Amino acid sequence: MSAGSVGFIGLGNMGRLMAANLARSGRKLVVRDTDAERQNAFAIEFDAVAGDTPAAFAEVEAVVTMLPNGKAVREAVLDSGVATALRRDAVVIDSSSSDPLDTLELGRELAEQGLALVDAPVSGGMARALDGTLAIMLGAGDEAAAERALPILDAMSARVFRTGALGTGHAMKALNNFVLAAGFVAAAEALVTGGKFGLDPAVMLDVLNASSGRNVSTETTLVEEVLTRRFTANFTLGLFTKDLGIAAGLAGSLEIDAPLCALVHERLAQAGAELGPQTDYTETVRLWERRSGVEPAP
């Protein structure tokens, strides 16, 4: 494999779009996914190498992981034998939503093998993954590793933010999703309450978006997914509550008094237990309407 090639592990909804942007930038890819059909289809479409064995990654300069959690990252990089096969100057770029404390431990273990780890989780959803405008949060304790990772990240998005040392990217991602969740839950509860009193949800959102209650959920998610009754924001309750659990756990480990974080996590986790982890998080509004006896607007 020629110099400049990149490994990419995890070709789910987000990973596939990010890897496709890398391929379009001219990078030769070695790809792996637990779904062999998806892996091989991507390899054919983008002239990539199917990474069926650790040896396939032997000459890549970096491996990007885009997986559900830190446990999956550990399995894909360490337990699989990929780390052993990598060049000693290769960098591992974890774009998954991992626990920052787990990231620090993985970084130490990879360093023992002569490998550098940076964390570079993303925010923005599938639309921004497609057009290359994701927010990428880069944490790196090794400046040389960050410099090696930056050209690869730049090929996936022009919006890369340096957050600090290793683990800070994953911490930022979890905290960002806490803020998103808090705004969403507050706005959703306001809509349900207003609906019960007789307010028109569309009028409520117009007022909120012209007032100080405006947030990303009132501006986009509730307008595009709840008013239309589509409920297709493409972010599952399982993944959302996992990120909120990371944020709440981080606050707890640092002995921070953050009761709202724990409460929002509990609120959505309860909804996930009732609706199922694969349910789109916007479906919680329909659940809360039903519990409150609110008839949605036609």
Residues with a known catalytic role:
173
Tell me the two tokens of residue 41: 């289809």
Question: Is residue 176 within 8 Å of residue 123, measured between CB atoms?
Answer: yes
Tell me the two tokens of residue 286: 């329909």
| φ and ψ at residue 6, rounded to 5 degrees | -130, 140
- C-alpha–C-alpha distance, residues 91 and 83, integer Å: 10
- C-alpha–C-alpha distance, residues 164 and 22, integer Å: 24
Question: From residue 163, how far is each of 44, 53, 136, 167, 248 by CA, in Å?
Answer: 36, 34, 10, 9, 19
Per the DSSP assignment, residues forming a β-bridge with 7 are 30, 63
Residue type, 77: V
Distance in Å from the first CA to the final CA of the chain: 58
